[in-house]
Every structure is written in C-alpha cells, then in structure tokens.
C-alpha cells in the first residue's frame, strides 16, 4: 500500500521535510540509564535496568538483533545508550511477578525485554551457555528468582534450572556474552536493579498474532489494522480487525515466505474470539457478499468501485451500531469519477463467519469532497446515540488540521460538522477550517494521526513520517482531551520505532489505538504497520530475494504504553 496523502513530488517532499520537521515534545523529558550504586528492590510489575556489579555494564539483548526475525536474540552486556523513550529498549527490562503475594527469595519472575517484548530464557541446563530471549511460554526456562546477596543490596538472578546470570571473568568489554553458571558467590554474578519510569514496550504476543501462518482461506499479511469491539448476539466480546491491502494464504510458500507478487485483496477482516485470545489459528477471516459474482474472493469484504486491478476500496475506522458495522472507506478514482469517501454498512452474522450484505452509503458533506479526510477516528458516545468522527485536512507537508463531525446512530448519512461554536451541514473546506481542534499550543497535527476514546478521555496518537529513507525522527506521541472538541494536550513522546529492514529503518504508517484491549496492567495497546523500506537515498527498494518476500515486513506491529505516561 502507498501513502495515500503524499501529494507532492518526491524531491519537494525531501526538501520540505528537512525544513519543516520539528520536535513535538520537550527535549528535557528524558530518562537516564546509569549503573546503580544502590540497588532497588524488585517489584511485582516494574521497569528496571540490570547492572553487573563487577563490570558496571548493563544487561542487554544483542543491539544488532532484528526485531522482526524469528531467531532469538542473545544476551550480553553493554554501555548505556539511553536517549529517551523508546531508545535503548534492549537495555531495559520488565520484572513480572508470577503469582501473587509477598516477594521473597523464592518468588518466580519473568523478565521481559522492552525492545522486543520477548523474555529472558535459559536455553538449557548447561553451565556456560549464553542466555537468550524467546517468546512467552509456560516452561520453567523463563522463570527466575531474584535473591539478595547476604549483607548487600545486590542480587543473584537464578533460573529454575539452578544456574545464575554470570559475567564470566568480570569482563568490562561491551558485547561480552552473559551466560548461566554455577553459583560461586562472586561480584561477576551480582546484579544491581535500577528502577526507572515505566516505558512503552513492544507487545510480542500481538506481533506474533499477526504472523498468520499458512492457514487455508485467510489473509496473512496486510497494512492497516483497525479494531472494532462487537456486542451483537454471539459476537458479543469478539473483535473485528479491519485491514487494507492483503496477501492471501495461498501466496505463502512452505518456508513461510510470500511468493514474489502483489497482494490479492484490497481489504479483509478478521474475527478475533476475545481480547485475550491471541492465537492466530483461532481468528478466522469473515466473508461478505460484496464481491458475489465478480470472480474476486469473498474474503475481500468491500468491492472495488471499478476494475479490481485498477481501483480499490480501503476501509479504515468504524463502529458497531446494532447488528451492523459502519466503516469509513476511501474509494479510488474510477475513470472520470474522482476518489470518494463513503460509509459501508456490513450486516453481521451471529452464527458464522459468512456475513451478509454490504451497503454503500454517501453521507452529506463527506462524499462530495475530499478536502477533509474523515479517516482519523470514529467513536460512538457511551450513551449510544451519536458517533463522533475526526478528519484531517492537509495544510502543508506533514501538517494537518484536525476537524470534527458527528452523525446520529439512527441516521448514519446525516452528518453535521463542528464550526467552532455550532454545527453545520457541511464542513469548512476553506483555508480558515473553522472548528479546527487545538493540539498543544497550536492547531496542527502530523499526517499520521488518529483519535479514539480510552478510560474516560479522548486520545490522539501521532507518528513521525516513516516513508523516508532512515528518518531521524521516528517517534510515537500521545495527547489527551476531556472532550471530542479538544483541546488536546501537548503531544508526548512515548516510543521510538526501531524496526529495520536490510540495514535501514523500515517504512511505517497507519497508527491505530485499541483501548478495548485491556490487559490488567493499565496499559494502552497501539499499533502501526510496516511496508519494507522507504524509496530513495541509500535505502534499497528490493523486497524479493531468491524468490522470497518476507511477510513480517508487511504486517501490523504493536506496542503497549503505560497509562501513567499519558495521564489516563
């Protein structure tokens, strides 16, 4: 999929980017990683740096490891490289108590790496083996106890196999392997715990969920990833995931790689059984009758406005109203017909994944213009009688005004538009953009912006542009507001995107907020999508190697942000 808002030439984009990029947060809002002379006590759920006493180096996952690889990163030590949220995540760790009760020397912990969301693991029971990270599982190799050294503030960190974290020989060299060894009661095995502010982390469970695998009759790689909680009939408690351009399982080879070709469908939808079930095989696609008789698979839930090969429909934000789903959809140009934005109404089935008719709706003030793109967010009021919709109007490169519209749930085509002090039947598409929403000290948001409702507040997520070769700014920012009209707080940097492809930062876009995925830890789930590398500069444009195209670089990626960081 392409960046649908890029309206300028590539050369002009680069020039403007260099001139207009700006820092959205106070640069003094930085955390600091330092070797700790006094160790913190472990907590039931908290973020720490872990320092070897003999070397004063930090426990870290291999900084050269590919976050998207299925290979497990090795564990080593290194000098601090922290420079703010989302940086040096390979040197930051969550201690997660297993079970409840007071913390003692026999309390089991899992130790999660912030950068990858994977867990510290003993690969075997052999002394001298280098430790590694792996996805979460229930085996004892990921269970650790944290035992205080007698008379000290330091700790041994012991695996269920009886061996402890060891810096062999007390090496002070960056990159030295951290191994497991027999306890010898020596500073090479002493570790200081330094409690730091809670950090956003990569949610490896959700990332793995989107590695769909070769399951028949499904979509396996896609961009976009909007989620809609369902309440209708037996769908109550399920989640509908909406995708855009998607590869089919038939395009996967036996080695798990895609055959080198374009995606099969311009959209699809997955039906997740619950907010806690992250098993890909338990989440089928739905079908609709939209493409009946066209020769296009029914897995494409909304048909293209013209020829399937030359036009497309991209659904995005949406809500459930009664038994129906309403999706904002961008329709590409069809011959002399300009691009349009419409609503598509999909009839749910509560008995199967074969859903019903798709009805194309043309709301007033929306389908007749494209100056304001209403894909930035859609929220149904808690009273259930009104749906708020946010739009973006591009005013300059990577600068957009955020505008608000609404429609009653009993008449989804009857939109009205906020003009600053009243509602009108049409949006203001002049340069004044009456009703534009305040964000921080101004009225501008980035191109990658989306809004949702979480924990009693309206939440805006923004991302720095990710379509350039190795962009210097790759932040994820959060603002909040008490009303749908704003004002939104100054965007706060909460995460830095560090996915790489062939030695360069990967291309990313389509921010999404998923407040309904409550995990019991007061953390907000956010996602974005990858699309290999940006074009131009030193970044390679090739995505196919030896007949293989890696689906991991065309999938949804997830992070969790602590509520405490963003005032929720």
Q: Is 21's pLDDT higher than 80?
A: no
- SS3 of residue 372 by DSSP: coil
Question: What's the pLDDT tens digit per position in 441-465?
Answer: 999 999 999 999 999 999 999 999 9
Q: Is 17's pLDDT higher than 70?
A: no
Q: Which residue has the tokens 């998607």?
A: 246
Q: Is 31's pLDDT higher than 50?
A: no
pLDDT of residue 458: 98
The torsion region of residue 305 among left (phi > 0), alpha (psi -120 to 50) and beta comes to: alpha
Q: Is 3's pLDDT higher than 80?
A: no
Cα–Cα distance between 563 and 568 in angstroms, integer? Answer: 5
Residues with Cβ < 8 Å from 411, sequence gap 6 or more? Answer: none
The CA-atom distances, in angstroms, between 428 and each of 4, 338, 413, 423 are 22, 20, 18, 11
**Integer Rg of the chain from CA:** 25
Q: Is 428's pLDDT higher than 50?
A: yes
Q: Is 10's pLDDT higher than 50?
A: no
Q: How confident is the model at residue 32 (pLDDT cuts 50, 70, 90)?
A: very low
DSSP string, 61-128: E-TTS-TT-SSPPBEEEE-----STTSSGGG-EEEEESS-S---TT--EEEEETTT--EEE--SS-TT
Q: Is 70's pLDDT higher than 90?
A: no
356 with 344: CB under 8 angstroms?
no
Strand order of the sheet with strand 373-380? Answer: 373-380, 386-396, 399-408, 416-418, 423-424
DSSP state of 216: S
pLDDT of residue 84: 74
395 with 403: CB under 8 angstroms?
no
Query: What are the phi and psi torsion angles at 140 (to 5°)?
Result: -65, -15
Question: What's the pLDDT tens digit per position in 545-557?
Answer: 999 999 999 999 9
313 with 266: CB under 8 angstroms?
yes
72 with 118: CB under 8 angstroms?
yes
Question: What's the pLDDT tens digit per position in 280-322?
Answer: 999 999 999 999 999 999 999 999 999 999 999 999 999 999 9
pLDDT of residue 5: 38
State mean pLDDT over 489-498.
Answer: 96
Cα–Cα distance between 230 and 271 in angstroms, integer? Answer: 10
Nearest to 294 by CA among 358, 237, 338: 358
Give the burial class of 495: count Cβ atoms within 10 A of its Cβ; 0-12 exposed, 13-18 middle, 19 or more buried.
Answer: buried
State mean pLDDT over 380-396.
Answer: 95
Residues with Cβ < 8 Å from 551, sequence gap 6 or more? Answer: 211, 212, 220, 221, 247, 252, 256, 257, 258
Residues with Cβ < 8 Å from 68, sequence gap 6 or more? Answer: 499, 501, 506, 530, 550, 552, 553
Domains of the chain: 10-25+202-566 (2.115.10.20), 45-196 (2.80.10.50)
Cα–Cα distance between 285 and 304 in angstroms, integer? Answer: 19
pLDDT of residue 65: 80
Please, what is the average pLDDT of the chain?
91
Using CA atoms in the order 231, 457, 493, 52, what is the torsion angle rounded to 10 degrees? Answer: -70
Q: Beta 239-243 vs 268-272: how paired, if at all?
A: antiparallel
Question: What's the pLDDT tens digit per position in 165-224?
Answer: 999 999 999 999 999 999 998 999 999 999 999 999 999 999 999 999 867 889 999 999
Tokens encoding 519: 């995990």
Q: Is 22's pLDDT higher than 60?
A: no
Q: How confident is the model at residue 85 (pLDDT cuts 50, 70, 90)?
A: confident
C-alpha triplet 456, 457, 458: angle, nearest 5°: 140
- The fraction of the chain above a pLDDT of 70, given in percent, is 93
State mean pLDDT over 481-502.
Answer: 95
Q: Beta 399-408 vs 423-424: how paired, if at all?
A: unpaired
Question: What's the pLDDT tens digit per position in 330-359?
Answer: 999 988 788 999 999 999 999 999 999 999
Q: How confident is the model at residue 71 (pLDDT cuts 50, 70, 90)?
A: low
The CA-atom distances, in angstroms, between 434 and each of 244, 393, 422, 510 are 31, 12, 10, 26
């Amino acid at each position: 999929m392409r960046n649908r808002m890029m309206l300028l030439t590539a050369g002009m984009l680069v020039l403007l980017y260099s001139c207009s990029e700006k820092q959205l947060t106070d640069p003094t809002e930085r955390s600091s990683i330092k070797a700790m002379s006094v160790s913190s006590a472990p907590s039931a759920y908290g973020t720490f740096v872990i320092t070897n006493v003999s070397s004063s180096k930090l426990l870290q996952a291999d900084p050269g490891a590919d976050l998207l690889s299925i290979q497990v990163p090795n564990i080593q030590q290194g000098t601090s490289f922290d420079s703010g949220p989302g940086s040096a995540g390979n040197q930051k760790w969550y201690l997660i108590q297993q079970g409840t009760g007071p913390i003692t020397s026999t309390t089991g912990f899992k130790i999660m790496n912030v950068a990858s969301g994977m867990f510290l693991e003993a690969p075997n029971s052999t002394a001298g083996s280098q430790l590694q990270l792996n996805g979460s599982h229930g085996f004892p190799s990921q269970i650790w106890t944290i035992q205080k050294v007698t008379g000290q503030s330091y700790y041994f960190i012991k695996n269920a196999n009886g061996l402890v974290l060891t810096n062999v020989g007390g090496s002070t060299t960056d990159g030295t392997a951290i191994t497991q060894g027999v306890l010898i009661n020596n500073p090479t095995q002493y570790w200081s715990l330094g409690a730091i502010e809670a950090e956003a982390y990569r949610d490896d469970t959700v990332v793995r969920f989107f590695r769909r695998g070769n399951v028949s009759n499904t979509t396996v790689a896609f961009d976009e990833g909007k989620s809609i909680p369902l309440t209708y009939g037996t769908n109550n408690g399920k989640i509908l995931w909406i995708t855009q351009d998607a590869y089919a399982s038939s395009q996967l080879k036996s080695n798990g790689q895609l055959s080198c070709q374009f995606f099969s469908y311009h959209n699809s939808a997955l039906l997740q059984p619950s907010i806690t079930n992250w098993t890909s095989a338990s989440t089928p696609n739905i079908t609709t009758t939209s493409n009946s008789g066209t020769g296009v698979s029914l897995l494409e839930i909304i048909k293209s406005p013209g020829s399937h090969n030359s036009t497309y429909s991209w659904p995005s934000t949406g809500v459930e109203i009664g038994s129906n789903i309403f999706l904002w959809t961008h329709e590409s140009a069809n011959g002399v017909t300009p691009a349009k934005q419409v609503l598509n109404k999909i009839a749910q089935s509560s008995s199967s994944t074969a859903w019903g008719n798709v009805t194309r709706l043309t709301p007033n003030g929306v389908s007749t213009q494209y100056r304001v793109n209403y894909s930035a967010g859609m929220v149904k009021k808690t009273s259930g009688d009104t749906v708020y919709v946010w739009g973006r109007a591009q005013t300059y490169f990577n600068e957009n005004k955020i505008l608000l519209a609404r429609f009653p749930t009993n008449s989804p085509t009857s939109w009205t538009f906020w003009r600053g002090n009243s509602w009108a039947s049409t949006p203001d598409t002049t340069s004044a953009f009456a009703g534009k929403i305040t964000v921080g000290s101004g009225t501008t948001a980035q191109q990658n912006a989306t809004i949702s409702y979480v924990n009693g507040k309206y939440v805006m997520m923004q991302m720095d542009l990710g379509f350039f070769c190795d962009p210097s700014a790759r932040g994820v920012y959060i603002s909040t507001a008490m009303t749908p009209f704003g004002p939104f707080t100054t965007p706060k940097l909460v995460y830095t995107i560090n996915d790489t492809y062939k030695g360069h930062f990967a291309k990313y876009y389509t921010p999404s907020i998923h407040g309904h995925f409550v995990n019991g830890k007061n953390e907000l789930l956010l996602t974005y999508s990858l699309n290999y590398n940006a074009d131009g500069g030193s970044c390679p444009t090739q995505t196919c190697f030896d007949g293989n195209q890696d689906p991991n670089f065309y999938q949804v990626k997830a992070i969790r942000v602590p509520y405490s960081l963003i005032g929720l």
